[in-house]
């Protein structure tokens, strides 16, 4: 297993604002799916804008191990797929690194292929629960054997004759939904997934893009998704938009540093991913979208973020699925807002790369911000000015927590340090350099080795 050296960093208030154009990496969710669906299609899929972070590279390696040809030529990735049911047994363990998305989605693919495989990951991923995915997948005929709680390493015996699934997802999770749909690809008949709250629909969009028959019925706040199994997936070109979850960090940095104004081109604007943007506007942020367009079946636009004073608000629980990864950085902005911000219904944060709910509260408390956890709610009492800072944040190998803490340090009186920033590159390669460059030479390196 690859050993990643510990990389402590600190962030301090810059003497100049963030300005100019900032390009964020390609959308991680779409990048994973583009590689997987390309491997399941017939023909050669051409992918541009792929996120080349460690998480996505693990997915590329897994697809190669399962028999697909995956190559990078200049800035384009080419995937020659094997068709539905055509993947082959891997010769070695599939190491998914830090990527819960890759591990959970791949479980769905492996469950309906008649061979044996084993998945593992880094220390963080091996702590994350997998039973929420593997339990419904056993109904197709697959067998899973893992550590207590279904945790990795996980041995998978795929179904010989996979059965279609019908599953009511108990908690909002695009990963669980996608795993069931991916399993249903290699089963005859109709696989049906019911979700009580709508979650990101990249899988449904991309399945259609590759030629699958997918229907969606709205049911209250949720949806019923039906997939016809054993389709003939055709290779398709994919343009990966900028990741809105990655865009959240430079946007938050601009909203932390007075005088800042940045433009982030080509960001994905899928309505099931943009809850943070809605929330920031409710808090008073000057955040607008220009040049809206469609690329590869997904809405895209250029985001302009300008420093503004913020006010505390109540964030409703039904918004959580559309911004579940952005709550730590929202909490950072809430720390400098006027008044109290209450973020409701964050149960899902407890099973991310870390227990993000507790870890986010600990991050703020270590930097003298008043914060409470009330059940599944996070309550941040904003300073209405500049938070004190000065703390050392334990990141728990969580890339989003590390970036959130560094953004906090850009707007505090005292520098904020993180114990390890090495995992940032799993989702946002070059994050530190990008933020420092946007500040310019006159501002110095706000993010530096601790």
pLDDT of 339: 98
pLDDT tens figures, 225-280 = 999 999 999 999 999 999 999 999 999 999 999 999 999 999 999 999 999 999 99
Sheet holding 151-157, edge to edge: 94-95, 116-120, 151-157, 143-147
Could you tell me if 102 and 58 are in contact, meaning their C-beta atoms sit under 8 angstroms apart?
yes
Q: Which two tokens stand for residue 284?
A: 């008073």
Query: How long is the chain?
Result: 450
271-305 per-position pLDDT tens digit: 999 999 999 999 999 999 999 998 867 899 999 99
Region label for 110, one of left (φ > 0), alpha (ψ between -120 and 50) or beta (otherwise): alpha
| C-beta neighbour count of 11 within 10 angstroms | 29
Strands of the sheet containing 9-11, edge to edge, are 392-393, 416-418, 9-11, 447-449
pLDDT value of position 444: 66
List the catalytic residue out of 302, 325, 398, 425. Answer: 325
Sequence-distant (≥ 6) Cβ neighbours of residue 281 within 8 angstroms: 287
pLDDT band at 1 (very low <50, low <70, confident <90, very high): very low
Give the pLDDT score at 353.
63
Mean pLDDT score, 318-338: 95
User: Which residue, among 334, 286, 330, 288, has the nearest Cα to 308 in the 3D structure?
Assistant: 286
CA–chain centroid gap for 342, Å, is 23
Asked whether the domain spanning 28-239 has the same topology as the one spanning 9-26+241-449, the reply is yes
What is residue 254's predicted lDDT score, i.e. its pLDDT? 97
Residue 341 pLDDT greater than 70, yes or no: yes
- Say how far apart CA 45 and CA 35 lie, in whole Å: 9
pLDDT tens digits, 384-424 = 999 999 999 999 989 999 999 999 999 999 999 999 999 89
Half-sphere exposure of 147 (CA within 13 A, CB side): 11
| 279 contact partners, CB below 8 Å, separation of at least 6 | 313, 315, 319, 323, 330
Contacts of 131 (CB under 8 A, 6+ apart): 149, 150
Whole-angstrom Cα Rg for the chain:
21
Q: Alpha carbon 381 to chain centroid distance?
A: 27
In SS3 terms, the chain reads as CCCCCCCCEEECCCCCCCEEECCCCECHHHHHHHHHHHHHCECEEEEECCCCCHHHHHHHHHHHHCCCEEEEECCEEEEECCCCCCCCCCCCCEECCCCHHHHHHHHHHHHCCCCEEEEECCHHHHCCCCHHHHHHHHHHCCEEEEEHHHEEEEEEECCCCCCCCEEEECCCCHHHHHHHHHHHCCCCCEEEEEECCCCCCHHHHHHHHCCCCEEEEEECCEEEEEEECCCCCECCCEECCECHHHHHHHHHHHHHCCCCEEEEEEEECCCCCCHHHHHHHHCCCEEEEEEEEEECCEEEEEEEEECCCCECCEECHHHHHHCHHHHHHHHHHHHHCECEEEECCCHHHHHCCCCHHHHHHHHHHCCCCEEEEECCEEEEECCCCCCCECCEECCCCCHHHHHHHHHHHCCCCECEEECCCHHHHHCCCCHHHHHHHHHCHHHCCCEEEC
Q: Was domain 9-26+241-449 assigned CATH 3.65.10.10?
A: yes
User: Is 355 known to be catalytic?
Assistant: no
Whether the per-residue pLDDT at 441 is higher than 90: the answer is: no
What is the pLDDT, as a whole number, of residue 209?
A: 93
Rounded Cα distance, 310 and 178, in Å? 36
Q: Which residues contact 205 (CB under 8 A, 6 or more apart)?
A: 270, 297, 298
Round to whole Å and give the CA distance between 267 and 381.
Answer: 31
Q: What are residue 289's DSSP bridge partners?
A: 303
Instruction: Kindly report, residue by residue over 153-172, the tens digit of the pLDDT.
Output: 999 999 999 999 999 999 88
Q: Give percent of the chain with pLDDT exceeding 70.
A: 97
Query: What's the mean pLDDT when you consider all of the chain?
Result: 94
Q: Is the pLDDT of residue 189 over 80?
A: yes
Looking at the DSSP bridge assignments, the partners of residue 159 are none
Query: Where are the chain's structural domains?
Result: 9-26+241-449, 28-239
CATH class of the domain whose range is 28-239: alpha beta
């Amino acid at each position: 297993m690859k050993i990643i050296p510990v990389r402590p960093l600190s962030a301090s208030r810059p003497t100049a604002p963030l300005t100019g154009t900032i390009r964020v990496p390609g959308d991680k969710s779409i990048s994973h799916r583009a590689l997987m669906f390309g491997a399941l299609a017939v023909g050669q899929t051409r992918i541009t804008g792929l996120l080349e972070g460690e998480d996505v590279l693990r997915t590329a390696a897994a697809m190669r191990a399962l028999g697909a040809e995956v190559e990078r030529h200049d800035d384009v990735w080419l995937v020659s797929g094997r068709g539905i049911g055509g993947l082959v047994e891997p010769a070695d363990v599939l190491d998914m690194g830090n990527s819960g998305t890759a591990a959970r989605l791949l479980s769905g693919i492996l469950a309906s292929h008649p061979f044996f495989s084993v998945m593992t990951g880094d220390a963080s991923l091996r702590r994350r629960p997998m039973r929420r995915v593997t339990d419904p997948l056993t109904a197709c005929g697959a067998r899973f054997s893992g550590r207590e709680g279904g945790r990795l390493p996980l041995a998978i015996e795929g179904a010989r004759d996979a059965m279609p699934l019908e599953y009511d997802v108990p908690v909002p999770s695009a990963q669980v939904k996608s795993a069931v749909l991916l399993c249903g690809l290699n089963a005859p008949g109709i696989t049906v997934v019911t979700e009580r709250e709508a979650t990101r629909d990249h899988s449904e969009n991309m399945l259609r893009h590759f030629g699958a028959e997918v229907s969606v019925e709205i049911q209250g706040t949720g949806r019923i998704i039906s997939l016809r199994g054993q389709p003939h997936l055709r290779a398709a070109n994919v343009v990966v938009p900028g990741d809105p979850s990655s865009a959240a960090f430079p946007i938050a940095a601009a909203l932390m540093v007075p005088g800042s104004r940045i433009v982030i081109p080509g960001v994905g604007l899928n309505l099931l991913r943009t809850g943070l943007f809605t929330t920031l506007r409710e808090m008073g942020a000057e955040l607008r979208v220009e040049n809206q367009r469609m690329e590869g079946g997904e809405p895209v636009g250029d985001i302009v973020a300008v420093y503004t004073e913020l006010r505390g608000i109540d964030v409703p629980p039904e918004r959580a699925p559309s911004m579940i990864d952005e709550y730590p950085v929202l909490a950072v902005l809430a720390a400098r807002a006027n008044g109290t911000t209450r973020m409701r219904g964050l149960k899902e944060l407890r099973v991310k790369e870390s227990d993000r709910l507790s870890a986010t509260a600990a991050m703020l408390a270590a930097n003298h911000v008043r914060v409470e956890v009330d059940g599944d709610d996070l309550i941040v009492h904003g300073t209405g000015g500049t938070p004190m800072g000065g703390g050392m944040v334990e990141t728990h190998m969580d890339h989003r927590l590390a970036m959130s803490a560094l953004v906090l340090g850009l707007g505090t009186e005292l520098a904020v340090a993180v114990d390890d920033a090495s995992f940032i590159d799993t989702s946002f390669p070059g994050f530190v350099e990008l933020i420092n460059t946007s500040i310019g030479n006159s501002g110095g390196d706000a993010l530096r080795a601790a």
